[in-house]
């Protein structure tokens, strides 16, 4: 079955499943990396002040913590960081953030997971006599900032094959190249510095890569697999250990989904509701007690985020009901409420997208009076950043600024332009998507045999990844008889199902699904599900994680 699963993910050679660090792509093809390394090597040798400016999401936080740790391992004594508060300064290296950075008199500013669109901010830094190194992975616009060096695999002319590398991956590659340069210059020997083992930072690289939901092509899978292996062995930073503990996850059994659905959201909660510095400090500390305290604060923020999200989701579906009553539901959906929380609109857009299976942009009031900020989420087959680019080209007056990826993007526009933008966005999406594209079909890897519906195979699947975006965890389908069922927490359905051929039973859980609308006497279901391992009170069992239910 595993061979069949891998074939469905275009795995044709065993080398594609080898995750040794020797398989990593070399950094030499990254455009601009030589200039970046020359600047940073000189800064370390002269003990200049280096300021890292990070994005306020998990990718930015891990990029910042990883680079700061790496530079200190290489002997840099004057390394500091700054992360914009999204509510005060907005995204990226803005002139306002540069002004704040200048109060600490840096010689060099290094951006991580941002900067490729920071034309004005880079200009402000350069005017103040500060050199700028941009490390980023977001798609560049028509004009690049006049930085002293830009390292971004998506810039024009770059030959690095792994275009889906996350911001933390790009920053890690810059650190690999910097170490190689300092080795060649005999810097470590001359200064009695232990040659740094940067592989010890792969826990941060893995977390940022998974949390940013970039496609897990082979190079990214290597980074994630290597990081997860270190986490399972307890060879990770105190902050990741603490975040796994507060999320009640077994560190020794940690998989990519634990990063994506438990650790990442808690880290992101700091940037969404308050200040990502809290998350970065959690990843920087080596003190387990401090890490536990910070992880607890992040967990509390995540609970607040969930409460805010629940209220916003209810309001969103009231707006959608009105849209459906008044006219046909847009294919490209735009939603806005003056009371929505700017830090949570990205999650809201994701939730609505999952429910409707169509591209969604959720808007909230911006920092400046009369502006709104949007967070966009797309479905497979629609490059959301390209859609915004097309809208901006046809209607240059509508959008103030935008940027992002294929599946997620951000934008700002005047509040008065919301209706016109909504129409233009819907029109552009309609031109690109067919009715079939909006079906939201679940692709199955097939049915499992009675033997495969077992704990042994469930554990084998857990270890066959890392699974994630672009390399999806296997989904199977099958028919089962319902032995018993009950509702948990008023919204989750727990079932005991009889296996094929009356040969035994297996647990199943369907999140955010109930049996309220099921016909009386329903006794059989067809499921699309993932096979996973359930741990309870030290006992492991196989469990079906239900993705979709069809009644019989």
Positions of E strands within 84-229: 108-112, 131-135, 149-151
Half-sphere exposure of 19 (CA within 13 A, CB side): 20
Give the model's pLDDT for residue 407: 86
Every domain of the chain and the residues it spans: 21-297, 328-438, 455-551
Query: Is residue 546 within 8 Å of 513, Cβ to Cβ?
Result: yes
With a cut of 50, which residues of the chain have pLDDT below it? none
Task: Count the Cβ atoms, other than its own, within 10 Å of residue 355.
Answer: 15
In DSSP terms, 14 is beta-bridged to: none
- Taking the C-alpha atoms of residue 357 and residue 345, their distance in angstroms, rounded to an integer, is 17
pLDDT digits 0-9 by tens, 168-190: 999 999 999 999 999 999 999 99
Q: 355 Cβ partners below 8 Å, 6+ apart?
A: 317
pLDDT digits 0-9 by tens, 33-84: 999 999 999 999 999 999 999 998 999 999 999 999 999 999 999 999 999 8
Topology agreement, domain 21-297 and domain 455-551: no
Query: Is residue 358 within 8 Å of 378, Cβ to Cβ?
Result: no
- Domain 21-297 fold: inorganic pyrophosphatase (n-terminal core) (3.90.1640)
Q: What global pTM score does this model have?
A: 0.91
The three-point CA angle 35-386-380 to 5° equals 110
Q: Report the SS3 class of residue 106.
A: coil
Nearest partner of 375 among 330, 355, 405, judged by Cα: 405
Yes or no: is domain 328-438 CATH 3.30.70.1450? no
- Taking the C-alpha atoms of residue 208 and residue 132, their distance in angstroms, rounded to an integer, is 23
Give the model's pLDDT for residue 405: 80
- Taking the C-alpha atoms of residue 415 and residue 6, their distance in angstroms, rounded to an integer, is 48
The CATH code belonging to domain 455-551 is 2.40.50.460
- Taking the C-alpha atoms of residue 495 and residue 497, their distance in angstroms, rounded to an integer, is 6
Give the model's pLDDT for residue 141: 84
Reading the block at residue 257, the tokens are 């989904």
Cα of first residue to Cα of last residue in the chain, in angstroms, is: 27
Query: Is residue 86 within 8 Å of 270, Cβ to Cβ?
Result: no
* 318 alpha-carbon distance from chain centroid: 28
Q: Among all chains, which residue has been given the structure tokens 């692709």?
A: 443
Helices (H), 33-191: 33-45, 58-73, 95-102, 119-127, 167-184, 187-190
Query: Is residue 269 within 8 Å of 58, Cβ to Cβ?
Result: no
Q: Among all chains, which residue has been given the structure tokens 């490390």?
A: 135
Give the model's pLDDT for residue 325: 61
In DSSP terms, 525 is beta-bridged to: 480, 551
């Amino acid at each position: 079955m595993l061979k069949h699963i891998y074939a469905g993910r275009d795995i044709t050679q065993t080398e594609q499943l080898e995750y040794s660090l020797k398989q990593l792509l070399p950094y030499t093809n990254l455009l601009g990396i030589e200039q970046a390394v020359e600047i940073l090597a000189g800064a370390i040798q002269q003990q200049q002040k280096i300021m890292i400016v990070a994005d306020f999401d998990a990718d930015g936080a891990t990029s910042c913590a990883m680079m700061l740790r790496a530079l200190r391992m290489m002997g840099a004594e004057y390394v500091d960081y700054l992360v914009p508060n999204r509510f005060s300064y907005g995204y990226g290296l803005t002139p306002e953030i540069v002004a704040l950075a200048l109060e600490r008199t840096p010689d060099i500013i290094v951006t991580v997971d941002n900067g490729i669109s920071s034309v004005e901010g880079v200009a402000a830094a350069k005017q103040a006599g500060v050199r700028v190194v941009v490390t980023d992975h977001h798609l560049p616009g028509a004009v690049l900032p006049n930085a002293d060096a830009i390292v971004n695999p998506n810039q024009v002319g770059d030959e690095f094959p792994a275009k889906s590398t996350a911001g933390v991956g790009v920053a890690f590659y810059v650190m690999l190249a910097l170490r190689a340069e300092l080795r060649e210059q005999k810097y470590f020997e001359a200064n009695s510095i232990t040659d740094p083992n940067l592989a010890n930072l792969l826990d941060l690289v893995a977390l940022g890569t998974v949390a940013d939901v970039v496609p897990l092509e082979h190079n990214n899978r290597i980074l994630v697999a290597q990081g997860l292996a270190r986490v399972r062995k307890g060879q990770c930073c105190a902050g990741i250990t603490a975040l796994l503990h507060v999320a009640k996850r077994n560190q020794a059994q940690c998989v990519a989904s634990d990063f994506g659905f438990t650790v990442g959201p808690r880290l992101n909660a700091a940037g969404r509701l308050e200040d990502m510095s809290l998350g970065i400090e959690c990843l920087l500390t080596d003190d387990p007690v401090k890490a536990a305290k910070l992880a607890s604060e992040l967990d509390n923020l995540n609970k607040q985020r969930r409460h805010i999200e629940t209220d916003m989701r209810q309001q969103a579906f009231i707006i959608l009901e009105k849209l459906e009553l008044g006219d046909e539901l847009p294919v490209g959906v735009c939603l806005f409420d003056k009371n929505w929380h700017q830090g949570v609109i990205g999650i809201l857009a994701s939730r609505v997208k999952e429910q409707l299976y169509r591209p969604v942009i959720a808007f909230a009031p911006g920092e400046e009076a009369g502006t709104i900020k949007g967070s966009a989420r797309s479905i497979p087959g629609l490059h959301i950043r390209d859609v915004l680019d097309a809208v901006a080209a046809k209607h240059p007056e509508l959008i103030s600024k935008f940027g992002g990826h294929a599946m997620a993007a951000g934008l700002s526009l005047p509040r008065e332009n919301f209706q016109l933008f909504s129409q233009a966005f819907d029109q552009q999406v309609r031109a690109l998507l067919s009715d079939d594209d909006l079906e939201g079909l679940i692709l199955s890897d097939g049915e499992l045999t009675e033997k495969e519906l077992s704990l042994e195979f469930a554990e084998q699947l857990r270890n066959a990844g890392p699974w994630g975006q672009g390399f999806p965890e296997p989904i199977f389908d099958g028919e089962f008889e319902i032995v018993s069922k009950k509702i948990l927490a008023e919204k989750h359905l727990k079932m005991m199902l009889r296996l094929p051929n009356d040969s035994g039973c297996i647990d199943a859980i369907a999140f955010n699904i109930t049996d309220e609308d099921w016909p009386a006497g329903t006794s059989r279901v067809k499921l699309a599900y993932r096979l996973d391992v359930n741990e309870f009170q030290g006992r492991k069992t196989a469990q079906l994680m239900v993705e979709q239910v069809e009644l019989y």
